[in-house]
């Protein structure tokens, strides 16, 4: 019997695109009502995983049960319960906003009245009410994604699969987009979304970090950060890029990450290393604003995990 408390159960998933193994023995579970993030750089295997979950790609090995349906054995059964938004805009650019909505509503057998109500509500929620007559191809990137979400939500799915939904979307639209996702999760819709933006991953309830088809960690963003061995200290400086060379091989520094005008140093012991690094920079007359201990971001965690896996 499938366990109803899990919206997604993935076990030992493998997908090969010779010579590359896109997904390599991936296992994770998503509970109902959760916002789950598949996080990783391009080529990590996120899109392949999403496609398997959506029932549009058959894996080579392993199992995936989505909403109680085995998508490997019977990929069609799950399709009534899910909505999948592919990475590439999948709607018809030569159809208007409302024509696209009607098309997807008809495919899911939504009555005209239900459709009109839902469309009005969803379009209003994303500030697109006045664009219903516009061709989808004439919308901005952010509006296209929001239209994709409206079409995906026209039939109230149990699981929403979003493949890099905010890619190429401006920050304002992105915030609106996330507000809609939180609201959906509150209504009990499970959301699996993939992203290459690590800041976005922190908005998820739980994330799975993926790299080259493998799962690195899977936990709540906060808990993941606690897993980081040692601590992260930030060196803020207008010449941060130059300091990178100086500090990469300093005592107690595992790895260095340049983010904007700050260097994130992964160190064994923050209390001991902060004064040591400040002194070293002062001695060489290199300018910096401050050296402080910070709460690691998902990005820090990711880089640390990847460098730990691949020793130079």
Partner 1 sequence: MNWRRMLALARKESIQIRRDWRSLAVVLLMPVMLMTLMGYGIALDQTDVPLCVYDREGSQLSQDLLKSFVSNRYFSLKLDARDYRQLVTAVDGGVCTVGVVVPLYFSKLLNAGRPATVQAVIDATDNNTANLIIGYTQAVVARFSAAVQLDYQQRRGPALGAPSLGLQARTWFNEDLESRNFIVPGVVALVMAVIGTFLTSLTIAREWERGTMEQLVSTPVTAAEVIAGKLIPYFVIGMTDAATCAAISGWWFEVPFRGSVMTLFVSSAVFLIGVLLLGFLISALSRTQLAASQFALLTTFLPAFLLSGFAFPIDQMPIAVRAVTRIFPARYYVTILKAVFLKGTGIEPLFAPMLAMALFAAAVGVGAVRGFKKTLD
Summarize as ranges the residues that interact with partner 1 (CB under 8 A): 51, 54-58, 75-76, 79-80, 82-86, 88-95, 99, 102-104, 106-109, 161
**Shortest distance, position 82 Cβ to partner 1, whole Å:** 7
Q: Which of 240, 246, 270 is nearest to 258 (CA)?
A: 240
Q: Which is nearer to partner 1, 135 or 180 (CB)?
A: 135
Q: Which is nearer to partner 1, 160 or 234 (CB)?
A: 160
**Shortest distance, position 30 Cβ to partner 1, whole Å:** 17
Q: Which is nearer to partner 1, 177 or 266 (CB)?
A: 177
Q: Which is nearer to partner 1, 81 or 205 (CB)?
A: 81
Task: Say how many CA atoms lie within 13 Å of 311 toward its Cβ.
Answer: 0
Sign of CA dihedral 283, 287, 289, 293: negative
Block residue for tokens 């995906």? 152
Cα gap 103→150, rounded to integer Å: 12
**Shortest distance, position 170 Cβ to partner 1, whole Å:** 22
Contact 201, 166 (CB under 8 A): no
Cα gap 8→22, rounded to integer Å: 20
Q: Which of 88, 300, 294, 306 is nearest to 202 (CA)?
A: 300
Q: Which is nearer to partner 1, 30 or 152 (CB)?
A: 152
Phi and psi (nearest 5°) for 253?
-95, 120
**Shortest distance, position 116 Cβ to partner 1, whole Å:** 16
**Shortest distance, position 296 Cβ to partner 1, whole Å:** 36
Q: Which of 159, 126, 157 is nearest to 144 (CA)?
A: 126
What's the N-to-C CA distance of the chain in angstroms?
A: 47
Q: Which is nearer to partner 1, 88 or 312 (CB)?
A: 88
Cα gap 70→85, rounded to integer Å: 20
Cα gap 149→152, rounded to integer Å: 5
**Shortest distance, position 148 Cβ to partner 1, whole Å:** 8
**Shortest distance, position 271 Cβ to partner 1, whole Å:** 52
Q: Which is nearer to partner 1, 162 or 201 (CB)?
A: 162
């Amino acid at each position: 019997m499938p366990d109803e408390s899990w919206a997604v159960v993935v076990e030992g998933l493998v997908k090969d695109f010779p010579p590359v193994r896109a997904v390599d023995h991936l296992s994770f579970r998503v509970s109902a009502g959760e916002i789950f993030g598949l996080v990783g750089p391009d080529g990590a295997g996120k899109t392949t995983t999403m496609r398997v979950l959506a029932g549009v790609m058959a894996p080579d090995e392993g199992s995936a049960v989505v909403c109680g349906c085995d998508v490997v054995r019977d990929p069609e059964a799950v399709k009534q319960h899910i909505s999948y938004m592919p990475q590439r805009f999948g709607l018809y650019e030569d159809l208007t906003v409302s024509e696209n909505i009607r098309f997807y509503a008809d495919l899911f057998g939504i009555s005209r009245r239900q459709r009109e109500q839902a469309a009005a509500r969803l379009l209003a929620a994303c500030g697109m009410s006045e664009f219903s007559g516009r061709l989808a191809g004439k919308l901005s990137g952010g509006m296209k994604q929001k239209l994709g979400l409206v079409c995906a939500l026209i039939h109230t799915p149990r699981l929403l699969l979003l493949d890099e939904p905010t890619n190429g979307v401006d920050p304002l639209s992105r915030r609106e987009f996330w507000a809609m996702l939180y609201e959906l999760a509150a209504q009990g819709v499970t959301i699996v979304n993939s992203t290459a933006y690590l800041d976005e991953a922190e908005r998820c309830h739980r994330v799975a970090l993926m790299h080259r088809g493998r799962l690195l960690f899977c936990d709540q963003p906060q808990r993941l950060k606690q897993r980081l061995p040692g601590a992260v200290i930030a060196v803020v400086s207008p010449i941060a890029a130059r300091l990178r060379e100086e500090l990469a091989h300093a005592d107690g520094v595992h790895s260095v990450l340049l983010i904007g005008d700050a260097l994130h140093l992964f160190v064994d012991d923050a209390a001991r290393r902060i004064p040591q690094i400040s002194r070293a920079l002062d001695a060489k007359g290199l300018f910096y604003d401050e050296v402080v201990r910070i709460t690691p971001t998902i990005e820090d965690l990711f880089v640390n995990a990847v460098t730990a896996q691949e020793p130079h």
